[in-house]
Structures are given as structure tokens and as C-alpha cells.
Chains A and B, each alone.
Chain A
């Protein structure tokens, strides 16, 4: 990994004319030009317009003018801090649960999958060929009060008639977890698959029992997968607004839904923009801290 990140310096080119040399030096930049244009048009410009709109005042009828109304950010956080905190809690909980489920799956496929590895991976992905919304609705059906699971448990007298899973925080967290599983299995699989089996054998030869070998060797070597999957799943789940609406109840509102309401129901574009910007800022800071604590350095170290 470390080698691939370094670009080899171009060989001395004294025999070339200045023009050719310039051309040669600029080639990598020219090659990356499409990506830069893409990034600017589809990321920087929209981001700046969101930021500008967040500090605008007005309404959809008279229009919005950019008045530098910076306190909008504070109003947004003040009004919706409950939903913000809740979104992060749901995001962390669902990501950790997804990791706990995905890791054994990825581990098993990578180490014991044999020549059917791709078949097993395909099976993991198979349900995800069905539309996202249908899958979520299916959970609503499965978990319903008189449904497949709870209905029978209630008939057997194991649960009170009033018990329900739907419309609770856990239903939302489970929905988030379920929908993000393959996005955790895949990076974990890639990381675990790459682990040199001889290293594990060496650990055993040096009297590490299985749990110790796992904790000291396998898990650290799979850290890049844990890290990549965490980012992928956590960031998506914090901003999700579908699971909450399908599986949630009162007191489960997430920030994504608030942004959606602000934009479409209330047509309050500055509030929607300010909330989006705040969410993004918090996510960036959180990821930065996470990367500093568990991330980049240790990953470089392990995979070196």
C-alpha cells in the first residue's frame, strides 16, 4: 500500500526540448483534469451555493437575498439539536452492530469459503438487488405487531399483547444496520482476504492460541477494512431519512428527515441548507478525529 501511493519521479529528461519537457511535466495534471472539473462542478459549486443559501434571508415568494445571516447556523443547531444527536447515536449504534455481524461473515468467506468465495459474496449481495424501499417495507411487514415474528410469540404468551418493535428506536437502528450490511461485508472481506495465511501460522507456531492470534494478528491486519467500512456505513446512516419514516415512531426523527421537511414542506431553503452544512461539518470533524485516533497511521503501520 505504501509503495503504490508514491509516484515515481520522472527520469531526467535533459535531452528533451523545453516544450517537450513542459508537456511531459504537465501530463499527470492534464490527465487529472476531468476529475478536477467534475469535483468543482458537482461538489465545490453546490457546496458553496448551499453555504451561501444558508446565510440568506427571505421567503420563496419575495425570493432569498444573501444577507450574511450567520446566526442561521446557531438557530438550526439550537432548534434541532435533539435530532442531530439522535442521528449520530443511531449512526454509531447501527455501524457497530453491522460490524459485529459483518465481520464473522467476511472472515468465514475469506478463510473458509474455498473456491465458492464469489458465490457466497454473491449471496450476501443478492437481497440487495431488490429495491431499497421494498426491503425496508419488508421489515415493516416482518416486525409488525401481529406479524410473522411477534404474532406467534404473542400467541404463545411469551410477549404481552401490547409489545411492539416497530416504531421504536431499535427498529430504526435495525433497519439502518440491515441496509448497510453488504457495505461492511465487502471492504472487510477484501481486507481479510489479503491477510497472508503464513503470518497466522507463524503466530500459532509462536504459541498464540486462536483467540490471541485473532486479536494480535488477524484483527489488526484487517483494520483497513474495519476503517473503510466504518466510514462508508456511518456517514450514510447518519444522514438516512427513509428507515426512520418506515420503521420509526414518535421520538425517532432523524436529521435527514428534518432537512427534507424544511426543504419540501416548509420551503425554508436557508434552514435546510444550514442544517445540511452543519451535518456535514460535524461529520467531517468526527471523521477527522476518528482517523486521528484509529485511522491512517495505524493502518499504514499494519499494512506496511
Chain B
């Protein structure tokens, strides 16, 4: 992690400003989506499944017809790829261009998935292209399932992804959210576990029950996303979130209600600032945030995978319908799973690396033991044992039921 973000911008602040659900930018983006919906609703609101087109198509024939192009338009989050000091260049993208001749238009446009989905869904519903050849989406968001259910993403041609077959971590293959990795492969991953400051808690923590400890009352943080909150309620009750029943959901909601009086706040991304400032002693946390905090000088902060389970999240690369350069997108996906490219990107981003073979490259060639030996970047097999998948909602009603079970805890 020698090549850090621009020194003048505190990454946590930057993330807080650009990525959380509460930022002004995302608010403006949402306002735009709202305005668009307002116009659309003038003549009724049609369902998203109406535009469905992917089922029953011969996709191998479709792929065979796709020409090679020299362009790739990619929508990603800010600060989610290796960047040089001035912030203008992405060395891995430059190497990709030199190798393949494909020019990449890299657009750091995603501030939050709900807002981004709101924007592209209007275009996809109208049967138009989004302008992107590759987008990101997190499987733990219902929008991921919606993209697939609506036929708005193109099934991948795995014959052109040999590096994925060869180098991808086994934990990323054939996942429950997308059997056979049909529609997307993982860009980076991370864990939702527990972050804490041992100086303030006064002891080492080991269990998810510590989030329910009244001794930390007023200094316990939880996320404001119903899915993240609900999953921790289920884990506390010893239930696997991915296979939980509706009855389990209700019980988890009751467990979370018991915790609520001790919770300081249900946070978006700014939780990390609150933890760094000492407002929070213990909180739900994303592993890359704690990793970055440690590097930035908040060395007291610790992260652990609770033995009851930690939620394993991903950001997947997908090809939206009507992409003009789908072959280039596959080309990039394959490139990203090359161990040297993965090493270069991971060394900068610091999230969980999709390519275990990148570890020796980072240790030896990039000479960065702090990253290579971090369990937050290359989790051990016992860490991966506590990894739990997010629930995948069968349909909107299921998703809606989850929200009405867990939202009242957050929206108190």
C-alpha cells in the first residue's frame, strides 16, 4: 500500500462523502431519479420484468457473433482501483490497454447501488443501452437479483475467462447468488464483521454477543442497511442468514429490538469516522475500512470474524444488456484474474483479493508484506469457515417482507 490515495484527501472522509447513503451527491442523484420517475408515472408505472429478454436465447451463438472492439466503458465506485499519486492514471488499466489495444473509459460513477440501479433501470426498462459495457453490482443487494430476473445482464462466456477458472478463489465459484457464475464474477470482496477499539472496550472481544453487551451502551454501532442489520440478528441467534425462514426473521427482529436501547446509531459509511474518533467502541464493520484505518495510523482498531459468522460480500463485474463492447468486458474480466494484475490492484485497494495466487506476487515482487500477510486481504481458511452468504430473496415480496421485518428497528 505504498502508493496511497492523494495525501490531501483522507480516504475515510472521501468515502464518507462519496459512498454513504447520506451524501449530498447521492441525494442529488436520487433526486434526479425521482424526477425521472415522476415523469414516467404520468402514464403509469410499468413493471421491470416487462423488458425481460434474456431467457430462451442461444447465448453461445450470440457470443460467437460479437466482434472484437477496441473500446470498453466501465462504471465503478470511486477509489476502487489502483491509482497513481496524481489520481489521473490507473496503472493496471494502462497495462491492459498496452496488452490488448482496448481503450478503457473508466467512469467512477457509482455512489451507491440503489441510486445507480435507479438510474440504469430507467434506460434498461425502456430497452435502451446504459452506455456501459461493464457495471458493478453487489449480490447482497436485491438490485443484483433484479438485474438477473429482468434479463438486464448478459450471461458470460466462460470459454473466454480461462484465468477465472484457473486462479479464482474457490470461495467465489458457483455461489448461491449466481449459480455457475453465469452473470457475474467478483471484482473485490470484503467481510461485514466486528470492529472495535480495545482501549475503550477495556478487553479483547471474541463474540457477536459483545454487540449486545450493555456495558458498551451508547457506544455500539450498527449499520443502517436492513440486510446487514437483519443478518447480524440471525447470526446472534445461531441461524445461517442464507437459509433462514420467515419465523427466524421475526425472532431475529426481536433480538435486535433488545439491542436497540444500547445502540448509539444505525450508521452509513460515516461509522468508520465515529470509530476512529472514539464515539464508537464496538461496531459492525467492513473489513477493508479497518484495514485502511490501521494503515492510516489508527493502529488500535481491530477487526474480527465472529465465530458465529461474518457476512461475506462481493462486488461483481457484470455486462448490462445492449452493451456495445461485450467482448472487451470479458477481456478485462479475464485480465483482472491474472495474478500479477490482481496483485497490483489489491495492493492499492486493500479489500479481500479474489486471486489467492496474488499473495506471493504482492509479498515478493511488490515487496509489501503488510498487505500480503493481512488476514483482511487474504483470509485464512478458518476465517473463510466463518464466512456466511447473504440471503438471496426469491422475489420482491420476499425482499419487501425482509424490509418490513427489519426496517422498523432502524427507522426508530
Contact = CB atoms under 8 A, between A and B. Distances in A.
Interface in B225-247: 225-226
B24 interface: yes
Interface residues of A, number: 52
Interface in A41-68: 45-46, 49-50, 52-53, 56, 58-66
Given A59-B400, A144-B274, A257-B411, A245 B45 contact: no
A49 B396 contact: no
B17 interface: yes
Contact of A249 (B34, B264, B396, B411): B264
A61 B48 contact: yes
B91 interface: no
B270 A140 contact: yes
Given A59-B397, A60-B396, A46 B23 contact: no
B218 A147 contact: no
B34 A61 contact: no
Interface in A210-249: 242, 245-246, 248-249
A154 to B, nearest CB: 11
A62 B150 CA distance: 11
B277 A133 contact: no
Interface stretch (B36-44, B58-66, B169-177, B364-372): B36-44
Interface residues of B, number: 56
Contacts of B42: 45, 49
A253 B270 contact: no
Nearest to B397: A59
B47 A61 contact: yes
A261 interface: yes
Contacts of B138: none
Contacts of A27: none
Contacts of B50: 63
Interface string B245-265: 000000000000000110111
Given A246-B22, A258-B411, A265-B226, A144 B44 contact: no
Interface in A243-295: 245-246, 248-251, 253, 257-258, 260-261, 263-269
A263 B34 CA distance: 9
A259 to B, nearest CB: 10
A96 B71 CA distance: 58
A246 B24 contact: no
B375 interface: no
A42 to B, nearest CB: 9
Contacts of A246: 22, 270
A144 B277 contact: yes
B374 interface: no
B105 interface: no
A146 interface: yes
Chain A CB count within 10 A is highest, among B16, B41, B407, for B41
B114 interface: yes
Nearest to B263: A250
A64 B45 contact: yes
A50 B47 CA distance: 17
B411 A66 contact: no
Contact of B45 (A45, A53, A268): A53
A240 B374 CA distance: 42
B396 A59 contact: yes
Contacts of B27: 242
Nearest to B13: A137
B273 interface: yes
B103 interface: no
A167 interface: yes
Nearest to A272: B34
Given A60-B48, A144-B279, A242 B22 contact: yes
B218 A269 contact: no
Interface in B370-412: 395-397, 400, 403, 407, 410-412
A253 B412 contact: yes
B191 interface: no
Contacts of B11: none
Nearest to A47: B38
A129 to B, nearest CB: 15
A89 interface: no
A251 B27 CA distance: 22
B400 to A, nearest CB: 6
6 contacts: A46-B38, A146-B279, A147-B277, A242-B22, A250-B263, A257-B411
Interface of A: 45-46, 49-50, 52-53, 56, 58-66, 80, 83, 131-134, 137, 140-141, 144-147, 162, 164, 166-167, 242, 245-246, 248-251, 253, 257-258, 260-261, 263-269
